[in-house]
Structure 1
Amino acid sequence: MEALTTSSYHYHSINPSNRKLRSKRSPLISVSAVLTREKPAAAPSPRPSKYPTQSAPEKVPAPEKTNDASSRTSAATRPKARPRPTMPPAAPLSLPMAFCNALEGVINTFVDPPALRPSVDPRNVLSDNFAPVDELPPTRCPVIRGSIPPCLVGGTYIRNGPNPQHLPRGPHHLFDGDGMLHSLLFSADGDATLCSRYVQTYRYLTERDAGTAVMPNVFGAFHGIAGMARGAVTAARVLTGQMNPIQGVGLANTSLVFFAGGLYALGESDLPYGVHVDPITGEVSTIGRQDFDGRLMMGMTAHPKKDSVTGETFAFRYGPVPPFLTYFRFDPAGNKLTDVPVFSVQQPSFMHDFAITENYAVFGDIQVVMKPMDMVFGNRAPVGSDQGKVPRLGVLPRYATNESEIRWFDVPGFNMMHSVNAWEEESANGEKYLVLVGPNVLSIEHMLDDLNLVHSNVEMVRINLNTGVVSRKPLSAANLDFPVIHPGYVGRKNRYAYLASMANPMPKVSGVVKLDFSRIDTGNCVVASRDFGPRCYGGEPFFVPNDGSEEEDDGYLVSYVHNEETDESTFVVMDARSPTLEIVAEVLLPDRVPYGFHGLFVSKAELLSQRRFS
């Protein structure tokens, strides 16, 4: 990420009516703010504010074309995006809203520290291709290399990620930002259609209508005394009717899942939001917040697990009040079944992911914990690490009706943010094992503050369910995360996994690697890899199986890739069986697609089976 210096950059705010200035050609443009390069002045310029100031934006010149192989396209080749929709003017601010906005301005100016931490400084967090973009209506895109494999035709790849619609008035973390879905539909004629739309959450609609940010950013805003002050302003907004947290405060910006005919955008601080992709036009629309006939409360993990054999979907929620963990499942028809509260989790932990086997659900109780009192008495964030805590894995029978049979196993130093897969094995002497594979986050204390100091090693953990003995082996020393496998092997023994190769600086993704678990005794299970090239970064890969094939690795890996040199975004299809993960197809996109989180491929049959919800 390019360093920002006070001598060569200024941060300008853009009036909401000038949203057209948020061009894909400027990698440093944010939703309501633009970072522009200026010539050095003869005299020293005043020290810029830690927040954007109101002034006229300057045009950012487009980068020059190069003769590099990564810049193969011309203006004639590039697809043209349709005109952007005109944003309606925001309603005049009410007196209570104007007052609360003024209070937040006081907090930003006088209570926040003079220099924000890099992890919550919007000038850092929203720079380069992390900067947000406008919505894009369905727009045709050409295939510029190879051809789209038949197993993708008629389906759509859709990826979620944060894309704040308003300029942050205070600290802003990478995890904050309204969810935006970037969907690429593959047509029978060989081309594709890109559509980028916000998930229209209650929060998004409330702030869109207000013309300004109203709800606090959970990860960025609550820190020390300033966090307590923002909490008081939030309470005032609730009491004066500016927002109703009962209708949801989540961003739906993390991932997606498709089950029982429903496509959902997920963010673990809220209920799922039903979305719909038109299988003909590619248009993406939000159906609304889903509580499954009143049976789903508060929130749901962004990483539910779908068993392709039984058709069931398994999930959980966690939070800051007891029970800190609640497990549940959906039957094949999509009906939510009974909650299983887990009271043996005695401290609120950051449980982002879990795993299932044919008979168990496996939870990681890691060292990232919620400590609200640290904000009050320690001038720290309410979410942080507890170095004195011993990480552990909880194994709960998959069809449990209560937590009486859960077993906890200490696994010192094992902090799993994402799981690869889990399964069960039985030895020749009849001993039963549970096997879990996942990236272990080292230097977990930096997870929320400085990702450049974080390294994730993929490990295999074996739990002897008879003796309770736990053993671990590394699969690779590389910095890997965002794992995916063949979706048909979830909860069952598999051989291959595909992960994002994390770049420096984090959290950019420089490439993709393939692991072969059968090579575990060598200490390095990497059997294939692809680097996206200089200044080219992608995201989480997703594995799409080849139609009709029974081979686990017979399929394709797909991902969006952005070239920071040319400011072009593409979609790449890689052969998962190739030792170089060869690119067999590439689509040129009409707009920059920002870096994001998790994606999903929805097949033609699934698109045609979508329901509109009740």
Structure 2
Amino acid sequence: MTETTDAASALFGTGDFFRRGNYAPVADELTEFDLAVEGAIPAEISGWYLRNGPNPREASGHWFTGDGMIHGVRIENGRAGWYRNRWVRTDSFKEKFSLYNADGSRNLRASTANTHIVNHAGKTLALVESSLPYEITNELETVGAYDFGGKLADAMTAHPKICPTTGELHFFGYGNLFEPHVTYHRADANGELTVNRPLQVPALTMMHDFAMTAEHIIFMDLPIVFNLDIAASGTGDMPYRWDDNYGARLGVLRRDKPFGDVVWFEIDPCYVFHVANAHDTDDGKKIVLQAVRYEELWRNNGGFDADGTLWSWTLDFAAGTVSERQLDDRAVEFPRIDDRLAGLAARYAVTPADHSVLRYDLSAGAVEEHLFGDGVPGEAVFVPSNSGPADESNGWYLAYVYDPGRNGSDLVILDAADFAGEPVARIAMPRRVPFGFHGNWIGD
């Protein structure tokens, strides 16, 4: 059974990489039931896999600015019950208006909502870092902008962290042209916003992600800085550029003192889009942080002519120093862990890489690879098993994989206990799923 809704009368020209191949958007919204499966879906997997990404309705100057679209699959009782794709119908999706008002303040409802999707305290939120989150249903229908009962007057990062111990949601907002450029926020396990703490930084930088441990929050103040000339040019390019004079540093805030001092550690200049994880050492004297590091980015334009690789930083409180170490030389992005270990010492981080996904053993330094032949995987999300030991080898990884030969996509399920082995199941998508950003598993 198939249901189609035409939501875009025409697509656009083919000048840029994000309008070609599997970066190209799809033209409409689709619902299809009882998807074909090769192999066997484990019966205990029950929930929704939802993934967000740009799917512009008209020509845009940069991939990051396309309208958000969620691609979702419902899995239960060993079946792939349905596939849906839906644009996130933000206020500015329905009626175009600017992100910034004439006085320089922001219209926080102007949103593409195209970067991530998370579930906390019963709310499923589509995120982009420039705006308020937008609540959606698990059937992918847009409810509307969500501001924590009127308590959030700020943008929300697309990379909030949920503490597996307390259930708290930690996040920040940035983007104010005037100080404070960054504010740290926290909501309790019930979704009540409890902390709004301004953070002092010298300038408006592109602070895409941050890190959390059991005891600390770590902010990344890095040298990609807002450029007013580009913002005013009307080109649609990202209004940020590399700044040799800005420096780079990591700021550490104790979670039990959210309004206390931030301790800053200078690091070598670099940029980080995505953190894999961070944790406190057993003696409480250091923090270890793993992330994908770019030596330099966006010096002359907002393009993607550089590769990121997995690195580790160790912050030593007593010495006031940071040691930095490259873990691998392969180009990777979108690192993920078992989210039950967020802020703790996770063993594995999994990243897409060209035609494979890599699983890094962060304890032993080893790397496993699952090859997809000509297939191109996206971000891989861990789904824990509900039976047996609660460890990182007892569960499955889910990822959309694009097959260029047939110009189609599958949702592939890998057994975490046999990472390099054959997939346990391939769910055939009824349409190509364009490359996107981030997603999450929402279990029943």
Query: Is the 1:496–1:553 Cα contact (8 Å) retained in structure 2?
Result: no
Change (3 A) 1:145 1:251: same
Out of 376, 384, 387, the position equivalent to 1:545 is 384
Distance 2:213 2:271 in 1: 20
In the TM superposition, residue 545 of structure 1 has moved relative to its aligned partner by 1.1
Larger Rg: 1
**Mapping for residues 470-489 of structure 1, pairs under 5 Å:** 470-489=322-341
Match for residue 363 of structure 2 among 518, 521, 536 = 518
The answer to whether the Cα contact below 8 Å between 2:44 and 2:78 also exists between their aligned partners in 1 is no
Matching residue within 208, 213, 216 for 1:352: 208
* Residue aligning to 1:422: 278
Alpha-carbon distance, 1:543 to partner: 0.9
Number of aligned residue pairs: give it. Answer: 437
Displacement after TM superposition at 1:272 (Å): 0.8
**1:204 aligns to what SS in structure 2?**
helix
1:394 aligned to which of 248, 251, 267: 251
Q: 2:422 aligns with which of 582, 585, 588?
A: 582
Contact 2:216 2:252 in 1 (8 A): yes
- Looking at structure 1, the residues matched to 7 and 395 of structure 2 have their Cα atoms a distance apart, in angstroms, of 42
Q: C-alpha separation between the residues in 1 aligned to 2:359 and 2:301?
A: 27
Describe the superposition over 1:334-393 as per-residue Cα deviations: whole angstroms up to 9, x where unpaired.
Answer: 0011311012x111111111111111100111111112146669x996311112322110
TM-aligned CA deviation for residue 519 of structure 1:
2.5
* 1:5-29, Cα deviation, whole Å (9 max, x unpaired): xxxxxxxxxxxxxxxxxxxxxxxxx
Question: Secondary structure of 1:191's match?
Answer: strand
Say which of 160, 163, 166 aligns to 2:55.
Answer: 163
Give the match for residue 239 of structure 2. 382
Q: Is residue 318 of structure 2 the alignment partner of residue 318 of structure 1?
A: no
Runs of 5+ unmatched residues, structure 1: 1-80, 90-119, 207-213, 219-230, 239-243, 278-282, 504-509, 605-614
Contact 2:238 2:302 (C-alpha < 8 Å) held by counterparts: no
Deviation at 1:550, TM superposition (A): 2.0
Question: Aligned to 2:316, which of 464, 489, 492?
Answer: 464
1:341: which partner in 2? Answer: 198
Shift of 1:495: 1.2
* Aligned AA (1:132): P
Residue 185 of structure 2 corresponds to: 328
> Cα distance 1:367–1:194, how it changes in 2: closer, same or farther (>3 A)?
same
Deviations 1:455-485 (A, max 9, x none): 1121111111111121122211111110110
Cα pair 1:443 1:455 within 8 Å, conserved: no
- Which protein is richer in strand relative to its size? 2
Q: How does 1:224-373 map to 2 (within 5 A)?
A: 246=107, 248-277=109-138, 283-319=139-175, 320-343=177-200, 345-373=201-229
State whether structure 2 residue 179 is matched by structure 1 residue 179: no
Q: How does 1:210-229 map to 2 (within 5 A)?
A: 214-215=96-97
Distance 1:84 1:382 in 2: 36
Q: Within the alignment, does 1:439 sit opposite 2:292 as a pair?
A: yes
Q: 1:440 to 1:138 in 2, by over 3 A?
A: same
Question: What amino acid sits opposite 2:382 in the alignment?
Answer: F
**8 Å contact 2:108–2:131 — kept in the other structure?**
no
Structure 2: runs of 5 or more not aligned: none
- Distance in 2 (CA, whole Å) between partners of 1:388 and 1:363 is 19
Q: Given the two structures, how large is their TM-score scaled by the length of structure 2?
A: 0.91
Which TM-score applies when normalising by structure 1? 0.67
Is this contact kept in 2: 1:446–1:454, CA < 8 A? no
Residues 181 and 447 of structure 1, relative CA distance in 2, 3 Å threshold: farther
* 8 A Cα contact 1:141 1:590, kept in partner: no
Cα deviation for residue 326 of structure 1 reads 0.5
Which has more helix, going by share of residues? 1
Counterpart-to-counterpart distance in 1, 2:319 and 2:142: 49
Percent of counterpart pairs with the same letter?
A: 30
- Aligned partner of 1:147 in structure 2 is 40
> Following TM superposition, by how much is the alpha carbon of 1:531 offset from its aligned partner in structure 2, in angstroms?
2.4
2:204 partner SS: coil
Q: Secondary structure at the match of 2:343?
A: coil
